[in-house]
Amino acid sequence: MFNKRTKIKELLQSAKTDIPCTVMGWVRTFRNNQFIALNDGSTNNNIQVVVALGAFPDETLKRITTGACIKASGTLIASVGKGQTVELKADEIEILGDSDAEKFPLQPKKHSLEFLREIAHLRFRTNTFGAVFRVRHALAFAIHEFFNRKGFVYLHTPIITASDAEGAGEMFKVTTLPLDGTAPKNEDGSINFKEDFFGRSTNLTVSGQLEGELAAMAFSDIYTFGPTFRAENSNTARHLAEFWMIEPEMAFYDLEDNMNLAEEFIRHIIKYALTHNREDLEFLAQRLEEEEKQKPQQDRSEMGLIEKLEFVVNNDFERVTYTEAIEILRESNHNKKKKFQYLIEGWGIDLQSEHERYLVEKHFKKPVILSNYPKEIKAFYMRQNDDGKTVAAMDILAPGIGEIVGGSQREERLDKLMERMNEMHIPAEELDWYLDTRRFGACKHAGFGLGFERLVLFVTGMTNIRDVIPFPRFPKSASF
């Protein structure tokens, strides 16, 4: 058996000293030909491996370079120096994998996030990305834990979908037909997808919601958590072509039930990270604080990262209707002094980023749930309100991120739904299977979608979505 070692996280918490132990990990720095800062990813903290002078041949010492993988065995002792409580006095050191220091791109110094993005395959070995991806893991785990505890069924919706009528954005085509112009054609010159692998045209999913609704009509409460693909040419710090989405769908829920669940859900997973990933979050908070020092005073956030997360956990989200929000914005000094690029004049327009930011960051200074939007700016499946103008939709806006959740009560009345689909030119025959939920035992139901990476952004305090997914896909980029 090879893996007879103790993880560094466990060793650093050890109450006992003067015990024999073995560690394996990657060298962060080798100081003074004596002190190895070793990391194995179990925690952001390194263990200091002490190499007694003259105890090892120069040949071995030369191979202890930044990035090298080593195994060290010895005794865990109370640290002689300051800066750590315990350290490993090494009796044996084995180089498991060499790392040419001249070629290894990570140096014992601060690197820019832009540079690290170019070497995303190695950035896990930095403090920042170590913390980010451990937090990402914890959030994913907390999500499953939350829904499992509430009796939700985790539903795997398809990644390859036949439907192209979900209306959630541009889709990536999936085909095995040749791309050199020799694909079989119909008489009118279009591609004959009957000859394709699935016997029809297929795409990568843009949302599992419609399939989720089907399952909610049997299990009552379900959620999906999987990858989603959008072929939009979006070049922003908040969009990815491949991202992960959580989509719960609940029978017998109205819009308010939906908002209550979404709020409880966000609170719970943040609380989970605060208790289980305290060290990582503290590291990220410090990183953010240092970054903010570079900014002019008025651009700095009022709260530190931990403070902000605790605030979200301990305070109710503000709930306002679209109509109330428009009123607040129209009456704001910001609007009167014409500081918005798009001034608020009337009811019915979609809110711009600047408006959402004003509501969340300036007016309420906390997460906001906006509800009951004009039907013209929302999707066909959202339940039409009795006023004839609005639908039972809700978005949760988070400070610094913008829209983090989008959800609605669904239109369960077949006639109303088909009427709306007709108005929006959505072909009913393609969604016949979806309409069956309304034909056979329909009921009030609701759900929402939460962009996982946006949640990770919010919790880690990172600002670019490409830095919170291990291998980001975006226009003109699919490396690794």
In the range 72-101, which residues lie near RNA by CB under 7 A? 79-84, 87, 89, 101
Asked if 447 contacts 410 with a C-beta cutoff of 8 angstroms, the reply is yes
Instruction: Give CA angle at 469 (468, 471), nearest 5°.
Output: 135
| For RNA, the closer CB: 174 or 262 | 262
Closest CA to 434 of 364, 357, 380, 354: 380
Asked if residue 384 binds RNA (CB under 7 A), the reply is no
Q: Which residues contact 1 (CB under 8 A, 6 or more apart)?
A: none
Could you tell me which of 243, 231, 166, 239 has the C-alpha nearest to residue 402? 239
φ, ψ at 198 (rounded to 5°):
-90, 0
Site for RNA (CB under 7 A): which residue of 93, 450, 456, 468? Answer: 450
Count of residues engaged in binding RNA, rule: CB under 7 A: 71
Scan residues 265-284 and list those touching RNA (CB under 7 A). Answer: none
Of the candidates 158, 156, 146, 66, the one whose C-alpha atom is nearest the C-alpha of residue 111 is 66
* 359 touching RNA, by CB under 7 A: no
List the beta bridge partners of residue 395. Answer: 370, 406
Find the binder of RNA among 5, 9, 111, 363 (CB under 7 A).
Answer: 111
CB 246 within 8 A of CB 452: yes
Query: Closer to RNA at the Cβ: 60 or 276?
Result: 60
Closest CB 358 distance from RNA, rounded Å? 11
**Hey, what are 450's tokens?**
């939460």
Q: Which one among 361, 403, 419, 436 touches RNA, defined by CB under 7 A?
A: 403
Least distance in Å: CB of 154 to RNA? 19
| 401-to-106, 206, 222, 329 alpha-carbon distances in Å | 30, 21, 26, 19
CA nearest 200: which of 224, 231, 176?
Answer: 176
As a whole number of Å, the end-to-end CA separation of the chain is: 32
Least distance from RNA to the Cβ atom of residue 1, Å: 31
In the complex with RNA, the residue whose CB is nearer, 290 or 316, is: 290
Give 190 or 235: the residue with its C-beta nearer to RNA: 235
Decide if residue 112 touches RNA (CB under 7 A).
Answer: yes
Rank residues 235 and 333 by Cβ distance to RNA and give the closer one: 235
Smallest distance, RNA to C-beta of residue 168, A: 5
- CB distance 76 to 18 below 8 Å: yes
Q: Is 26 in the site for RNA (CB under 7 A)?
A: no
Identify which of 30, 130, 41 has the alpha carbon closest to the alpha carbon of residue 90: 30
Q: Two tokens at 279?
A: 């060290």
Q: Which is nearer to RNA, 78 or 96 (CB)?
A: 78
Q: Does 453 bind RNA (CB under 7 A)?
A: yes
Q: Is 68 helix (H, G, I), strand (E, B) or coil?
A: coil
Residues 201-220 touching RNA, rule: CB under 7 A, are: 207
Q: Identify the CA nearest to 93 among candidates 147, 135, 36.
A: 36
Residue 167: CB minimum distance to RNA, A:
8
* By CB under 7 A, residue 114 contacts RNA: yes
> For residue 245, what are the β-bridge partners?
226, 451
Closer Cβ to RNA, 45 or 183, answer by number: 45
Of 52 and 303, the one with the shorter C-beta distance to RNA is 52
- What is the closest distance, in whole angstroms, from the C-beta atom of residue 357 to RNA in the complex? 7
Please list every residue from 324 through 353 that binds RNA, using CB under 7 A: 350, 352-353
CB of 235 to RNA, least distance (A): 3
Nearest to RNA of 138, 456 (CB atom): 456
CA of 416: how far to CAs of 220, 412, 422, in Å?
Answer: 23, 8, 10
Least distance from C-beta 53 to RNA, angstroms? 6
13, 14, 107, 286: residue in contact with RNA (rule CB under 7 A):
107
Helices 278-293 and 127-149, interaxial angle, to 10°? 130
Whether 124 contacts 132, CB under 8 Å: no
Pair of tokens at residue 106: 């990570």
Q: Is 62 in the site for RNA (CB under 7 A)?
A: yes
What is the closest distance, in whole angstroms, from the C-beta atom of residue 452 to RNA in the complex?
Answer: 8
In the chain, DSSP finds a helix count (H) and a strand count (E) of 14, 16
Find the shortest distance in angstroms from Cβ 99 to RNA: 10
Query: Across-strand partners of 451?
Result: 245
If one asks whether residue 439 binds RNA (CB under 7 A), the answer comes out as no
Contact letters (x/-) for RNA, 122-141, by CB under 7 A?
A: --------------------
Q: Which of residues 362-381 bind RNA (CB under 7 A)?
A: none
| Residue 78, beta-bridge partner list | 86
404 part of the interface to RNA, by CB under 7 A = yes
CB of residue 71 to RNA, shortest distance in Å: 20
The amino acid at residue 386 is D
